[in-house]
Structure formats: structure tokens, C-alpha cells
Amino acid sequence: MKSKKHILFPKQQILLEDFGNRIALARKRRKLTATQVAERAAIDRGTLRAIEQGSPSVSIGAFINVLRVLGLQNEITKLLEEDPIGRKLQDLRLLNKN
């Protein structure tokens, strides 16, 4: 089965590429090779390369496995810890109930 090409807006693509660069830096800081991380994350080196380049076609599971190998899996929970827009919408709905 042919995989779909995922298209992102330029700003979101830049964010994903930055995320990939940060993963690559974390790997290098730990002095781990791409082969070591790929093996420990149960992915192939091509998938790790795609992650580090910010490819939108890589599964979130592969990203999380790589973060686990780097000891950063708990950092993913910080992404939505704060939700200022959602909080404001909720507050407005609560105020309008009266």
C-alpha cells in the first residue's frame, strides 16, 4: 500500500524540522550513533533519519520510541500542559452559562 504524502504549512514544517534537529542534538550529546538509537527504538536508520530531518510522515510512535531511548519520553507531556486558548474558551463558556 502506498503511503500518503503529508503536507504541512511552512511554519509547521519549520517547527517539525526544529524538533528533529533537537532530537539529533540530544542523540549526539549522549554520544549515541544513529545505528544505536535506531536499534534501541526498534526502527530502521532511515526512519531515524526522517525523524531527525523533520519528516511529517513518521508515526508519533516512532518519535516517542526515540525519545524513550534518549530518556526524554516524559518531555512529550509538557507539550499541552498549558492550553491558554482552551482555558479562555472554557472560561467564556462558563461565564455565559449565567
Which pLDDT does position 7 carry in this prediction? 85
pLDDT beyond 80 at 5: no
Q: How far apart are CA 64 and CA 40, in angstroms?
A: 12
Which residue from 65, 52, 58 is spatially nearest to 3, judged by alpha carbons?
Answer: 58
- Domain membership of residue 62 (yes or no) is yes
- Domain membership of residue 37 (yes or no) is yes
Number of domains in the chain: 1
Which residue from 84, 22, 18 is spatially nearest to 10, judged by alpha carbons?
Answer: 18
Q: How far apart are CA 89 and CA 36, in angstroms?
A: 45
Which pLDDT does position 37 carry in this prediction? 99
- Domain membership of residue 52 (yes or no) is yes
Which pTM does this prediction carry?
A: 0.82
- Domain membership of residue 5 (yes or no) is no
Q: What is the chain's length?
A: 98
- Domain membership of residue 2 (yes or no) is no
Which residue from 32, 77, 6, 78 is spatially nearest to 48, judged by alpha carbons?
Answer: 32
Domain hosting residue 42, numbered range = 10-96
The CATH number that applies at residue 91 is: 1.10.260.40
